[in-house]
A and B are shown apart, each in its own frame.
Chain A
Amino acid sequence: MVPFIKLNPMLFNSFEYLLFLPLVLGLYYACPNKWRWISVFAASCFFYMQFVPAYIFILFFIILLDFTTAHIIWRSTGLTKRLWLIISLSSNILLLAVFKYAAFLLNNIFAFFQMVHFTNASAPTIDFILPIGLSFHTFQSMSYTMDVYRGQQKPETHLGYFANYVLFFPQMVAGPIERYKRLGVSLKAPQALSFESWRAALWLIGFGLCIKMVIADNLAPVVNQIYELEQPNIIQAWTAVLFFSVQIYADFFGYSTIAIGSAKLLGIEIMDNFKSPYRAASITEFWSRWHISLSTWFKEYVYIPLGGNKNRYGPWVISILAVFALSGFWHGASWTFIVWGLLHGIARITEGRQKPPRTIFFKRIIIFLIVSLFWIFFRAPDFKTAWVICKACFGFTDNTIFTNYNLSLWFWFFLLWLIEWFLNDQRFDIRMLQVSVWKRWCVILAMVYCILAFGGTQALPFIYFQF
């Protein structure tokens, strides 16, 4: 039983958030500069406590732990310094292990014991509700202590600012996973807000809502429906695979864009998390465009410490596989996520260490299809479902009955590609400044009409909220 149950996370695509944000802005700008951090802190706590209020203490624990250990690490040397880093990191990882991975680990340990006939007992049931966004804020907080350990970051002296770095509501539950040198500085010295930045922020929020509510939420029911079929046919399987590729991108990209827009309204800049990932012509390029904050986190704190590109071929292969498997495991406590990560790792290895050749259209399509097929393991709840979809994609299915899906749904699928073409590798607000006023108005009005008239009706939470 979880104390103070509430369990209604405040979604960006909810009426509550559309009320919450203006209230926070009012409070924020009513406060003198010196005290604005308090309004951000209060708003972030309130935002987080819409889920399970008691879980705020987990965040307070992380904040106090990493704030304190960072200071000790900064003042220590040699073994003591390393010891405190280990204490900090292992505490964060322990939190993750308890809340996110305990059931998975126990199930696998007991399954192994049963396999070697050590015991017949089954794993104890663990019924924790996963704290929302736990993987994001633990990784963010860990990056801070590691930066302090490396001497790349001075420890923050103001607990309030550090708390806001871990808690900052626009990116708290699904990233981007920020570094202190960027978000911390921005939180301490927010930019003065001009008309241009307000406008850009509103554009970003509108754009994020549009792709989440219109594209992701309209495709999601079809994907869910097909993944529940016992034996989909080849058309259904490819529909699910292609739609999910677009759904997850629109969903996460939409979330990140709303987060950037919301932060911008407070004068705070957060990093871009996506750069047209489906324009990538290689898996390496895909990972430099998809969930950029997580990719760079793993690169800086896992891949490079393991030797990175300087490794000989054998260790390099192992380090790549380790990083991608960890990345998969970061997403969810399931073997399907690990396999998803490993598939990307293997694809990355086959590309070798050379920089990929310049982008060509045909290669982009191939990479999109490969990435889409890999998503099957990300989306499927278990291997059985993943295998069913995989087989059906290649025609190994007895189901040959043609199902007449609502073909208009493909409009939302292609809309994303139209948007990608419009964005031309740039962020929406920047791109909008490059087009004529007439075009800008057309885009804004089309976007608003789509949000108002065509939003998916299931009010689905963002996929990455569960991580």
Chain B
Amino acid sequence: MRHVKTIAIFFAALILMEVLYRITSFTSDLKKFSPEQYRLLHISDSADILFFGESSNTTFAPYDSIPYSIAELAAQQMPAWRWKSITKHASHAGIYKQWLNALNPKSVPACIVITVNLRSCNADWRYSALEPALQQALVMGKARPRLLNRFLLALGFYPHLSERLAQKAKLTEWDTTCLPVSKNYPYKTVRAWDDAFANGYYCKPDGSWDMDKIQLACHYIKSYAFALHAENSRIKDLDAIVQWAQIKKCTLVFNIMAENLNYAETLVGPELTRLMRFNRDFIVKRYSTKGVLVIDHLESVKGADYIDQNWTTEHYNQNGRIAIAKKLSQVLLKNLLNP
């Protein structure tokens, strides 16, 4: 009986601790460890359109004279609508899915725009070293007792692989997954393709290897040589987002970002751009039939409008951002009822 009493006192104290934590530290901890979820709790009341993005939304070229993000530019085209955007570098569908759960359920915006970055579906991004930090930033917003969330955060209890394990998983995928390339194309896996280019595919006039070009070509291969399928974890996340939107009855927009196809073709060849288009078509077909407004920007930005000419990113200068924002706002204006 004495022990029962002791345990009861302990549990009562735990409940009091939860209350104390909510009153004293929770808000500051949420702001510190999960700033996006903190913002989401407060902005959904005041937004008609909520835009989720990654670095493509807010990266500017040093020579830009228009310092507005894609979301801001689109909002300027639709003054009657209240826009809010949440941007976090390296985020992806898996993160957006969690953000949606952090929205105030009583005031879900009329429309949610999800940035779909094709590269985010590749093995490099899925097993990225940035993933643990992204997952860590979600713990505080989970629907559990707040004090438990804080404790689990300290214990490092969130889904993540060690760097070496992630590297191993990535390499295995590159080694073993057969790509749907043309029958006669000699490189059937990312590894084979990458090896072929890495071993002196480009040479300088003096016969030495052109390492800059080789490295960039290899990077393009690792970034875009994959074929989407229903089992890809990003596709599963997008499916979950669609399901969420159907339950909440809000308009869902998948905004497929532009990629530098011309350069990919020049550098690696048409087999790579064929795969990129295949992946775009996969998303368009899969989600258009599920009631999602899929806006395809894949080939909307000119090669010169990419800020990083020597790497694969979706960072556009003002021309690129304006082109995307314009198309996005046009589709939304056409499809959304007035606010």
Contact = CB atoms under 8 A, between A and B. Distances in A.
Contacts of B20: 449
Interface string A1-22: 0000111100001110010000
Contact of B147 (A14, A18, A445, A452): A452
Interface string B163-176: 01100100000000
A212 to B, nearest CB: 10
Contacts of B157: 14-15
Contacts of B136: 457
A453 B155 contact: no
Interface string A305-349: 000000000000000000000000000000000000000000000
A455 interface: yes
A246 interface: no
Contact of A457 (B13, B153, B165): B153
Contact of B17 (A213, A448, A458): A448
B151 interface: yes
> Which of B148, B154, B165 counts the most chain A CB atoms within 10 A?
B154
A7 B154 contact: no
B155 A14 contact: yes
Contacts of B184: none
Contacts of B9: 441
Given A14-B155, A15-B157, A445-B13, A452 B165 contact: no
Contacts of B168: 5
B129 to A, nearest CB: 14
Contacts of B266: none
Name the interface size band of chain B.
20 to 34
A449 B153 contact: no
Interface string A193-232: 0010000000000000000010001000000000000000
Contact of B164 (A7, A441, A452, A455): A7
Contacts of B155: 13-15, 18, 455, 459
B150 A452 contact: yes
Nearest to B154: A455
Interface string B155-193: 111000010110010000000000000000000000000
Tell me the interface secondary structure of chain B in the complex.
helix
B21 A452 contact: yes
B152 A15 contact: yes
B13 A456 contact: no
A445 B3 CA distance: 17
B17 A455 contact: no
Contacts of B150: 452-453, 455
A445 B16 CA distance: 11
A6 B155 CA distance: 19
A451 interface: yes
A100 to B, nearest CB: 19
Contacts of B164: 5, 7
A455 B150 CA distance: 8
Contacts of A448: 13-14, 17
Contact of A453 (B3, B17, B152): B17
B202 interface: no
A456 to B, nearest CB: 6
Given A5-B164, A457-B136, A451 B151 contact: yes
A69 to B, nearest CB: 35
A453 to B, nearest CB: 5
B25 interface: yes
Contact of B165 (A8, A18, A459): A8
A8 B25 contact: no
A195 B3 CA distance: 10
Contacts of B263: none
Contact of B25 (A14, A445, A453): A453
B33 interface: yes
Interface in A217-253: 217
A18 B154 CA distance: 13
A213 B152 CA distance: 12
B153 A7 contact: no
A15 B162 CA distance: 16
A258 B17 CA distance: 24
Nearest to A15: B157
B52 to A, nearest CB: 24
A459 B3 CA distance: 33
7 contacts: A7-B165, A8-B165, A14-B157, A18-B155, A448-B14, A451-B151, A459-B156
Interface of A: 5-8, 13-15, 18, 195, 213, 217, 441, 445, 448-449, 451-453, 455-459
Given A449-B21, A459-B154, A459-B155, 19 more contacts: A7-B162, A7-B164, A8-B165, A13-B155, A14-B156, A15-B152, A195-B3, A213-B154, A217-B154, A445-B17, A448-B13, A448-B14, A449-B17, A451-B154, A453-B17, A453-B21, A455-B150, A455-B155, A457-B33
